[in-house]
Structure 1
């Protein structure tokens, strides 16, 4: 089965609603409009085409058309807010050079924002969909190159064949037990694997005759969500969504900025991706929206990565999410007894059908995954799986009773004052201090010392409040881990560089601190 076979329109009624454009379209109509991508494939001789994926109708049409025509796609990021044009051009040119792409598809509205790029020509989705003439169609030739999030390093291109994407989508719909009456609402960007695989292609798969036999897919834009998080839940109610997907921070934002009362009784599955998944976030959302009919068992924490298309583990549908206490990583007998008190970590569930997960070593160790969707190689040719088929994720985790708990990256182990310090421990304990924004605190090694950077809640941004908060953070880490951060730097909200799934990009942040590009609040400990 090709990916085109899997997502082709079935006999049921499927409609896509592009909320920020106030447009609804039958899927069969969108599929037909995408046939022009066969003309693009002919004009490009089947070479990969770079694409800046957005949540627009034109982009969605082009993606579906590319799948049907077998036009290989290379997903590249849109310009980040404040990014230097020259840097962005070099960044994209490297991606295009790695993949052989010479054409880049973008929304027409983005064309004026893009700097000229050597050997790369821009074509709007609208112009690509208006092409006519000879068509070249080979659905089996479709591939998608998606780049890793780059939370701890520069992104790497992962080449996924259509059959690997099919394998992951089939596992997804089996895990989520999709059936008639299910509908989906999402704001996740199609430029991220959770948005493209998990909600867009996943929904089109689920709409097939083997599962839901038609559904409604409501798509917001990420910008629309950020302008008003309550709109996400309003859209879930309006379109009768039973399934939605979001990273941890989105549930925090929705709980903090609750709008008018919602009826969330139909929401049976809320996938939570992008570790770390926080106990406080799930509990707060359940408490805030309890009177809206929200069922806490709807939460389905999950774990995945670009190298496996998307998902590897997930919490079974209808089973309440689970958390366990993790003690600080053992390292130094000098750590006081107070530091033995651990913190709660949410389980990312069990292996999806056809997948395997194990830990390298006893107890806490590197997470290894195996499954039919794990890519064979990165764009540079580096092989992903080892000789036995296991992919070494460089994520730290632990398995208990078959459940996976994700603890961070193996890269995030620092040597400070003669001992190993784990970023996860530092960040988990720092997050307990009142005044720190949820999920917006990061530990960074600097010249053998430890630096802590945190975004403040608005009420803590004046000099005196920031000074008290910085002292409280330093004392917390000393008391809980026996390590004294040399610097505790506080910033206003929105300053820390993030991936689209809500992870802080540690290495770019460290570089920005060295070049004094981060605006630090007065009162910080420098």
Structure 2
């Protein structure tokens, strides 16, 4: 009779080192001396493969020898479809050991279908020009076609693993060399490969460990995709460099059964570190039946760090999660808001553990750059938005908030967020113009707007998302959140952006996913939405009701307003025909 599989342990006698290594390969070499590792679970949360770091290292060295035998040289790019599993992990580190640059690429999303996925792979492959693309066998028809279109070699990783791994001398690693290329989640039409050195990566991974006060009792649980920086860096590379065992659900399995994530957290001894964008907490809170007690299924009392990042943090969603799971032992002080981006490797700021979600109410006129918000009907009442505190700069990172002309702003003033530190990217791969546009004298223009207060950073939105009409600034989040307060709508149902009307005027357009099949009800909803948006903005906006599951998402699950706007203007998003 086969013995049940055992996960790699939480505790280990190996002395912990906080990512103080010269290279990523050296970090895995050290972690392999202990007993911790990665653990992969099936859709129901059952352990399917424990993968100790020592086994990962052996497989990675074999993969490196296979890559070298295939002609891969230092600084060559090796593109890898980033499915969560042992195969990708070994190939990623195999490329690192071979001196090549692994390039994680996304899995298909539910939006767009086969042709859309092939095109996404094609543009990213054309950007990084890899010597080969290695992919899981089930994606062979699409991935092989994308490889063919750019003239690179496509390889099924099951076939690759059967190849001989002849002895080969591995290149001498250099901490200042590029470790990998990371494509941001929204990089489809104009992809930017973020080039991160070993030194930058390990500096950021050490900052994670110190910022979260990682200790021997901690264990990481994750469903985040490995083609996004929070999943790749925060929940794959960081646990290796800081010697933490991890339990994984595939992202697609989380999407089908989100509460399996909380089952995993409940099941393991020790304290849990687990991250999610806001929508992950939202899905779990909504899945809990009001007739079911969370305490009957979950024990979340050992969840020490409930990280939140990757999109705008919604305090109302976080409160709903607390309300749903407090009786299962979840403590609201476990929430750890953060801010980061791939161009800074990952983390720019972290909330100190235990401080939880803290918000400031900011008046709408301050958020939008001031000015009289009186509309056609005169001045409107003051409106406030709750802005979440995203913590303090991580170790070695500086943050400045600046005017458009680069002048630093005082505490409390809203402007462009810039950061500087050892973990900022070298630049975008083979795109000097894009690099020069955001990197100035070592400082990175993040593209986000925010303000500093008492040493903490508050993020208010993306600069490029701001809607400017008649000289007034409006944040799309404010419009979207206003519509979400109406019955029957939820986060992710609404996208707001600016368009030009046939008369040449700029105006906000609001796309709203509508589930009603009744024409009369759709007309009522459209009129109700129009009045709600008018009350918030003082303007008459274009309101379009669209079918459910129509709004596009980035590969990390975030709403893509820019893509929604393009699809709408191109006629690819077709609104319901509603009588005026």
TM, length-normalised to structure 1? 0.91
Shift of the alpha carbon at 1:180? 0.6
> Cα distance 1:126–1:339, how it changes in 2: closer, same or farther (>3 A)?
farther
Question: What does 1:295-444 correspond to in 2, within 5 Å?
Answer: 295-328=331-364, 329=368, 330-335=370-375, 337-361=379-403, 362=409, 363-379=413-429, 380-382=431-433, 383=435, 386-417=439-470, 419-444=472-497
For residues 244-294 of structure 1, the C-alpha deviation after alignment (integer angstroms, 9 at most, x for no partner) is 011000000001112762100110101101221101111000110000000
Q: Distance in 2 between matches of 1:343 and 1:51?
A: 41
Question: What does 1:143-154 correspond to in 2, within 5 Å?
Answer: 143-150=179-186, 154=190
Which has the larger Rg?
2
Shift of the alpha carbon at 1:440? 3.3
Q: 1:127 aligns with which of 132, 154, 159?
A: 159
Q: Distance in 1 between matches of 2:154 and 2:66?
A: 13
Q: Distance in 2 between matches of 1:299 and 1:505?
A: 25
RMSD (Å), alpha carbons: 2.4
2:73 paired with 1:45: yes
Q: 1:2 aligns with which of 7, 14, 23?
A: 23
Q: Distance in 1 between matches of 2:569 and 2:439?
A: 37
> Cα distance 1:299–1:492, how it changes in 2: closer, same or farther (>3 A)?
farther
> Cα distance 1:86–1:229, how it changes in 2: closer, same or farther (>3 A)?
closer
Q: Distance in 2 between matches of 1:424 and 1:228?
A: 28
Question: What does 1:268-283 correspond to in 2, within 5 Å?
Answer: 268-283=304-319
For residues 19-52 of structure 1, the C-alpha deviation after alignment (integer angstroms, 9 at most, x for no partner) is 0272222221122112122224422223111111
Q: Distance in 1 between matches of 2:526 and 2:286?
A: 24
Q: Distance in 2 between matches of 1:273 and 1:124?
A: 33
Q: Distance in 1 between matches of 2:187 and 2:481?
A: 17
Which stretch has the larger CA shift, 308-317 or 416-425?
416-425
Which stretch has the larger CA shift, 268-277 or 92-101?
92-101
Q: Distance in 2 between matches of 1:474 and 1:91?
A: 35
Confirm or deny: 8 A CA contact 1:442 1:454 kept in the other structure: yes
SS at match of 1:501: coil
Confirm or deny: 8 A CA contact 2:273 2:306 kept in the other structure: yes
Q: Specify the alignment match of 1:212 in structure 2.
A: none
Which stretch has the larger CA shift, 309-318 or 491-500?
491-500
Q: Which runs of 4+ in 1 moved over 6 A?
A: none
Q: Specify the alignment match of 1:92 in structure 2.
A: 121
Q: 1:13 aligns with which of 24, 31, 35?
A: 35
Q: Specify the alignment match of 1:203 in structure 2.
A: 239
For residues 164-223 of structure 1, the C-alpha deviation after alignment (integer angstroms, 9 at most, x for no partner) is 11111111111111111111110001011110001111111221xxxxxxx431111111
Confirm or deny: 8 A CA contact 1:340 1:480 kept in the other structure: no
2:475 paired with 1:449: no
Which stretch has the larger CA shift, 344-353 or 263-272?
344-353
Q: Distance in 1 between matches of 2:323 and 2:311?
A: 21
Q: Specify the alignment match of 2:3 in structure 1.
A: none
Q: 2:323 aligns with which of 287, 290, 293?
A: 287
Q: Specify the alignment match of 1:210 in structure 2.
A: none
Q: Specify the alignment match of 2:526 in structure 1.
A: 470
Confirm or deny: 8 A CA contact 2:28 2:57 kept in the other structure: no
Gaps (5+ residues) in structure 1?
208-214
Q: Distance in 1 between matches of 2:231 and 2:261?
A: 14
Confirm or deny: 8 A CA contact 2:40 2:50 kept in the other structure: yes
For residues 467-490 of structure 1, the C-alpha deviation after alignment (integer angstroms, 9 at most, x for no partner) is 3332222212211221221x2123
Shift of the alpha carbon at 1:76? 2.2
Confirm or deny: 8 A CA contact 2:72 2:100 kept in the other structure: no
Which stretch has the larger CA shift, 151-160 or 393-402?
151-160
Q: Specify the alignment match of 1:24 in structure 2.
A: 50
SS at match of 1:105: strand
Confirm or deny: 8 A CA contact 1:350 1:403 kept in the other structure: yes
Q: How many residues align?
A: 515
2:281 paired with 1:251: yes
Which stretch has the larger CA shift, 461-470 or 370-379?
461-470
Q: Distance in 1 between matches of 2:157 and 2:278?
A: 32
For residues 141-182 of structure 1, the C-alpha deviation after alignment (integer angstroms, 9 at most, x for no partner) is 552111122289733111111111111111111111111111
2:496 paired with 1:496: no
Q: Distance in 2 between matches of 1:302 and 1:422?
A: 21
Q: Specify the alignment match of 2:150 in structure 1.
A: 118
Shift of the alpha carbon at 1:85? 4.9
> Cα distance 1:237–1:247, how it changes in 2: closer, same or farther (>3 A)?
same
Q: Distance in 1 between matches of 2:426 and 2:287?
A: 43
SS at match of 1:303: strand
Which stretch has the larger CA shift, 75-84 or 476-485?
75-84
For residues 363-413 of structure 1, the C-alpha deviation after alignment (integer angstroms, 9 at most, x for no partner) is 111111111111121111343564432111111112222221211111122
SS at match of 2:253: helix
Confirm or deny: 8 A CA contact 1:190 1:200 kept in the other structure: yes
Gaps (5+ residues) in structure 2?
1-21, 290-295, 404-408, 501-505
Question: What does 1:126-205 correspond to in 2, within 5 Å?
Answer: 126-131=158-163, 132-138=165-171, 139-140=173-174, 141=177, 143-150=179-186, 154-205=190-241
Confirm or deny: 8 A CA contact 1:66 1:142 kept in the other structure: no
